[in-house]
Every structure is written in structure tokens, then in C-alpha cells.
């Protein structure tokens, strides 16, 4: 009862805030940033009931510039090992099309020891990658490898990660004709070893994903089949904000891991993804497509390649909702008053010189208080607040060593689904870092 009362109170408060506020802008150029959601499921996934046409229509109405669905790749093969020839991938869905959005192709590689989204500007044959999961017996992986440790080509044996979340089924007699059918569509792969050239399987997988020209994106590293392999593999980005920021997820830990990786000297993009499975049923009361939304700067180029290039480069920020504020974070490295350095940029000669940073907000709400946090090399460097009266938030620093600076904005979040503010916490936007003195 108390929760219902609080909800009504919140809804009334939200209404008052919306009625009494208006947006102000301090942006130079906001037209080259486009939004989307890098982690969506449709009813092609076995645990989603979202209709594809409904997803597309919702995304278009949300103003998204790009669209991708990354369904669980378990549907490539049914549980009894039968290949589903007429519904191999999400993009075979006849409704997977839009006149206004850039369509990307995606799938969620779903293993018990971690999930990763693969993205591309073009479709690909996923079966080859699907089979590279040690828990799948379809192609003949032998689970005894797991108890014996992973084999290296120099004869040593060592497990790179525990696989503690994996529960393996008893091996069953397989129907050889079905195996043949699968094998006939599959490039040859030596399933008797899990390594090649002394590399672990995940390295092999990342290599193969890259060989196919795809983007490798680690999902929800600490919740729902957390990422157990090495975090320092050569993947392309990590989902640092999955679904609602606070409840049901482990985004605080994901951001901590991101900071650890960045501090190690690696430039790595952090992106968002709602992981929305239900666009219209109960869950949509608090989590919808675009919670969070990821923004990428494509410099006006309207292609899937440009979106993925921006994602890889770190021209990326995350907002809690498609209608919520976008953080616009730039830097002036040469003191000419022009903030031409963008998130993802690396000021290779910046160590020892003074750098001016500027934080602005697209859709900034009048009189709303924004709490800004700047993280430098894994530590909180600035904790402050600003409002539309201040317009922008400026700060400077003279780094004496390799450094990164990333920005988090907190505040009220009235644009999300009705119940989300109770579960979301106060995080409203996260920017990717500006780097100084990193090795390229």
C-alpha cells in the first residue's frame, strides 16, 4: 500500500515537474549524435514476447537513428538439436526493416559463462560462431574438457575461468543425420582442441568474430550469466549500463570494472543496453526499450558502418531514457577556446599541458539540479553540481601521467516508465572518457 502511495506521489510530482519545466540548450552542434538501444530482444528469443513490428514502431517513435535486435542465439538450433531452417536469425523476420532508422544486424551469443552481442552492418552466417560454446553438445564439444582443464598446444593444462555458472546436461545419443545437417552448413573446426596458437577459446572466438568483420560486445558483465572469461581479451566494447541502473542489475560493479580496465592503459568503449524482453507486458511498466539509450556520434554519416565505427572509437554516451538528457562532453587541448576533443579521443601529446573540459547537456531542464562526477584514473576527481543558470560545467587539469577523464551525471529521472524512478536510482547519463597519453 505504501508503495502504491509513493507511486502516486511520484507520478503527481513528475507531472508538476514536467509542466513547470522547459528545456534549454547550450550546445554547439547536437545534430550529429544519433540514438538507439544496443540490447533488445524480440519474440525470436525464447524468453521474449516482443513483436518485431511493435519494436520497430516504438523505436521510430522514440526518435532512434539506429536499430538492432540481438536475440539469444539459442534459437539457431532447437533443444533437440534440430536446425530451424526458416528462422535462423532475427534479421530473417520480415518486419525487421525501417524507412527512418539505420538497421544493424545483431545476435546475443548466449553461453553459460557469459553473453556477448555481435553486431554488423551486414548479415552473417552465425552457425559457425554458435558452435563455439563448450556447453553445446550439438557439434561434439566434449564437456570432460572442463573438468580436466583447458588444453594448450604446449601440453600444459589450465582453466582460464571457473565456468562455475554452467550446469552441463548428461550427454545423450545424438541423431547423426541431424549432426550431419548441421555439419554441412558449418566450416570445419577442430573440436578436439579449444585453443589455437596457444590462445584460449575466447581469444579464438574474438578472432573469428573479427575475421567475419563483426563487432564483439561483452554484455552485462556481472549479472545474468556474468562474463567469466578474461576481461582483457581483444573485444570491442563492454555493456557498462544494462537495464535499470540500480535494481536487478550490477551496473555499479560493471562501471568499477570498466574503470579498472581503463586505468590499466586500455581504451575501451562503455555502452548501454536495455536488455528489454517485453515491450508491452508487465515489465514495460518499469523497463522499456531505451532504458538506457546509447548515443553515438557518426558525423552525419547514415550507415551501419559509421554507427559501429563510432561505437568502437568511444564516440558514445549513455542516457537513462530516449527522452532524457544527453551529456555532451568535450575538451579544449590547445587553449584556443574551441572544444574540438570528443569522447574516445586520445590526446597523445597531452601529458603536462593544461586541458580545459566542458560538460553540457542536451535537453537540459530549467532549474533542475544536475550532480556531476568526473572520474579520473578510477578515482573521483570532481563531485559538484550545476543548473541551467550555470549553463555548462567547466573544469581543467594538467595531467602529469597517462590519464582518462569520464563523466557521470545524476539527477531526477522523470522521463522513464512510470515505476522506473523507484528502481533506477539517480544516474541519468554517462559519457565515455577523453584519454590523455594512451598508447594507440
Using CB under 5 A, list all residues that contact Zn ion: 108, 115, 219, 275
Nearer Cβ to Zn ion, position 220 or 376?
Answer: 220
Nearer to Zn ion, 271 or 368 (CB): 271
Q: Which three cell numbers stand for residue 130?
A: 554458435
Work out how close the CB of 274 gets to Zn ion at its nearest, in angstroms, rounded to a whole number.
9
C-alpha cell at 251: 551496473
Residue 37 or 275 having the CB closest to Zn ion: 275
For 250-254, the CB contacts below 8 A with 24+ separation are 250/220, 250/221, 250/222, 250/223, 250/226, 251/427, 253/221, 253/222, 254/220, 254/221, 254/222
Shortest gap between Cβ of 376 and Zn ion (angstroms)?
A: 31
227: its cell numbers:
562474463
Q: Return d(Cα 90, Cα 57) in angstroms, integer.
A: 16
Instruction: Answer whether 42's CB lies under 8 Å from 50's CB.
Output: yes
Strands 237-242 and 269-273: parallel
Q: Of the two residues 140 and 226, which places its CB atom closer to Zn ion in the complex?
A: 226
CB atoms within 10 A of CB 365: 23
For residue 42, the Cα-to-chain-centroid distance in whole angstroms is 17
In sequence order, what are the beta bridge partners of 395?
357
> C-beta of 111: minimal distance to Zn ion in Å?
10
Burial of 402 (0-12, 13-18, 19+ CB in 10 A): middle
Bond preceding residue 254 cis, omega within 30 of 0: no
- Least gap, CB of 289 to Zn ion (angstroms): 12
Quote the cell numbers at residue 21. 519545466
Nearer to Zn ion, 117 or 356 (CB): 117
- Output the smallest distance, CB 326 to Zn ion, in A: 24
Q: How far is the CB of 294 from Zn ion (least distance, A)?
A: 14
Q: Which is nearer to Zn ion, 39 or 376 (CB)?
A: 39
Amino acid at each position: 500500500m505504501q508503495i502504491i502511495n509513493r507511486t502516486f506521489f511520484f507520478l503527481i510530482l513528475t507531472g508538476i515537474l514536467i509542466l513547470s519545466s522547459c528545456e534549454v540548450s547550450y550546445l554547439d552542434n547536437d545534430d550529429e549524435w544519433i540514438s538507439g538501444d544496443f540490447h533488445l530482444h524480440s519474440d525470436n528469443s525464447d524468453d521474449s514476447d516482443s513483436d518485431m513490428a511493435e519494436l520497430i514502431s516504438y523505436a521510430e517513435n522514440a526518435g532512434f537513428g539506429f536499430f538492432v535486435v540481438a536475440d539469444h542465439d539459442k534459437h539457431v538450433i532447437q533443444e533437440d538439436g534440430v536446425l530451424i531452417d526458416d528462422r535462423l536469425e532475427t534479421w530473417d523476420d520480415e518486419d525487421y526493416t525501417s524507412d527512418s532508422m539505420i538497421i544493424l544486424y545483431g545476435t546475443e551469443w548466449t553461453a553459460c559463462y557469459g553473453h556477448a552481442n555481435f553486431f554488423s552492418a551486414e548479415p552473417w552466417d552465425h552457425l559457425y560462431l554458435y558452435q563455439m560454446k563448450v556447453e553445446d553438445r550439438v557439434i561434439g564439444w566434449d564437456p570432460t574438457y572442463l573438468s580436466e582443464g583447458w588444453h594448450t598446444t604446449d601440453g600444459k593444462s589450465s582453466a582460464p575461468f571457473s565456468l562455475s555458472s554452467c550446469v552441463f546436461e548428461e550427454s545423450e545419443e545424438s541423431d547423426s543425420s541431424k549432426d550431419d545437417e548441421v555439419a554441412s552448413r558449418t566450416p570445419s573446426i577442430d573440436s578436439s582442441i579449444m585453443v589455437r596458437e596457444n590462445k584460449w577459446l575466447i581469444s579464438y572466438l574474438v578472432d573469428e568474430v573479427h575475421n567475419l568483420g563483426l563487432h564483439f560486445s561483452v554484455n552485462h558483465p556481472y549479472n545474468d550469466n556474468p562474463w567469466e572469461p578474461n576481461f582483457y581479451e581483444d573485444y570491442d566494447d563492454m555493456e557498462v549500463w544494462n537495464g535499470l541502473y540500480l535494481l536487478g542489475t550490477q551496473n555499479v560493479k560493471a562501471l568499477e570494472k570498466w574503470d579498472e580496465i581503463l586505468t590499466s592503459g586500455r581504451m575501451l568503449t562503455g555502452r548501454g543496453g536495455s536488455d528489454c524482453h517485453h515491450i508491452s507486458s508487465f515489465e514495460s511498466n518499469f523497463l522499456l526499450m531505451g532504458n538506457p539509450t546509447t548515443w553515438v556520434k557518426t558525423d552525419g554519416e547514415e550507415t551501419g558502418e559509421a554507427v559501429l565505427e563510432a561505437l568502437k572509437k568511444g564516440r558514445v554516451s549513455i542516457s537513462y531514457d530516449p527522452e532524457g538528457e544527453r551529456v555532451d562532453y568535450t575538451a579544449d587541448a590547445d587553449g584556443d577556446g574551441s572544444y574540438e576533443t570528443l569522447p574516445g579521443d586520445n590526446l597523445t601529446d597531452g601529458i603536462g599541458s593544461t586541458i580545459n573540459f566542458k560538460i553540457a547537456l542536451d535537453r537540459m531542464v530549467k532549474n533542475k539540479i544536475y550532480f556531476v562526477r568526473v572520474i579520473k584514473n578510477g578515482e573521483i576527481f570532481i563531485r559538484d553540481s550545476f543548473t541551467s543558470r550555470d549553463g555548462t560545467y567547466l573544469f581543467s587539469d594538467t595531467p602529469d601521467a597517462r590519464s582518462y577523464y569520464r563523466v557521470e551525471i545524476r539527477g531526477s529521472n522523470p522521463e522513464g516508465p512510470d515505476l522506473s524512478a523507484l528502481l533506477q536510482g539517480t544516474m541519468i547519463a554517462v559519457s565515455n572518457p577523453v584519454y590523455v597519453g594512451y598508447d594507440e
